[in-house]
Amino acid sequence: MKNLPPPLGPYQTPLKWLKRDFTPNKIEPLKGLELVSTHFHFQLSTTMKLTIISEFTENKRIQGFYHCLEKHLRTTRIGDYYLDLLLQDASGRIHAKVWDNVEHFDNQFDEGDPVAVKALVERYNGLLQLNCTKITRATDERYGRYGFKESGLVPTITADRKVLWEELRRLVTAVKSKPLKALLRHIFKRYKAVILELPASFSYHHTERGGFLVHLVSTGQIAAFLAAHYEGIDGNLLIAGTLLHDIGKVKSVELGLKSDYTTEGQLVGHVILGRDVLKEALEEVDVPAAVVEKLEHIILAHQGFASKETPRHPRFPEALLVHYIDSMDGKLDLMHRESATDTGGGRFTSDRNYFRLRLYKSEQK
């Protein structure tokens, strides 16, 4: 096995070493990743319990199983290599570092793998992170006897999905337009199995399995309220448009231990795919053309004015409301999560979050 390439100097930009490929300047990547056919594995202590991320505290030594969401080989200011990781389990996420034996541990797992870890919990810039002393790919064969289960690494909603689905059905029933009601029932019946499992996003809001359904119900309830609050609003169109605004995600997301975008999701995007889902359903359900045009516009414009990827901007009140309902519900979930998962002390979070603000932590009830 060849050693790591020479470390970069302190003022050079770190290179992203690629597997089975070459960097643009033709420096050879890490060969060790290709040559290792079996992974090293270490014994976990039978007297030390497995620790989930939400139970981490500073200076605590932990062992457990996590999902490696991100893995980067980087260099320090003095040119030494280290691994920069993002780990996840069902209770949360945490950044982690591997400072020692970097080449050895780099060969033991890939991004996207479940991993077994021994580490020390440290604090850096006010946030907890792991200093990993041992890490390798986890499998049922090697670590099943210690309690390893892949299902324990995927964040999942705690709400009862049957209850949420019944509330979604109630919202559909509240739509008085028979064509729109038939359209909603057709789409939700066809994609029910996917909707029950989807996250609403990977790193933004409602990221848990089932989060898409939570977002659907929450935004639908807001739409029903606002339909009665504002005069001159087509309540049937507003509720239907809200429930369908993100429907393209049923085709843009591929579920797995590390859920990812489908090829369609990457190349076309969930907004355009949402209109495709609508058009497919309209082959089976008859809806007036004028209503179809407005539904299409709501789907295409729901990301509003700031997004670079939005095909259209909202051009009538119901489309504008759908945009703000979606944005409000997503940002509120995100703000609650940033506050609840911040590992720093004090009444305010770190500013290392989506909002780039030190958020006030409300009293825990």
In this predicted model, what pLDDT tens digit does every residue of 200-229 receive, in sequence order?
Answer: 998 889 989 999 999 999 999 999 999 999
pTM of the predicted model as reported, rounded to 2 decimal places = 0.77
The conformation of residue 132, written as its DSSP 8-state character, comes to E
pLDDT at 34 over 90: no
Q: Which string of b and e fits 209-222 if b means at least 16 CB within 10 Å?
A: bbbbbbbbbbbbbb
Section 152-163 average pLDDT: 92
Q: How many other CB atoms are there within 10 angstroms of residue 352's CB atom? A: 13
**Helix 270-282, helix 235-244: angle, nearest 10:** 120
45-to-70, 147, 243, 271 alpha-carbon distances in Å: 26, 12, 49, 48
pLDDT at 258 over 90: no
In this predicted model, what pLDDT tens digit does every residue of 338-362 receive, in sequence order?
Answer: 888 887 778 998 888 889 899 998 7
Q: What is the pLDDT of residue 109?
A: 95
**Domains within the chain, CATH numbers bracketed:** 32-153 (2.40.50.140), 161-340 (1.10.3210)
Give the whole-angstrom CA distance, residue 317 versus residue 323.
Answer: 10
Instruction: Say which residue the tokens 């270490």 belong to.
Output: 42
Give percent above pLDDT 70 in the chain: 88
Q: For residue 129, list its beta bridge partners.
A: 95, 122
Instruction: Say which residue the tokens 């850096």 belong to.
Output: 124
Q: Which two tokens stand for residue 32?
A: 């060790």
3-class secondary structure, 117: strand
Section 310-324 average pLDDT: 95
Structure confidence at residue 69 as a pLDDT band (50, 70, 90): very high
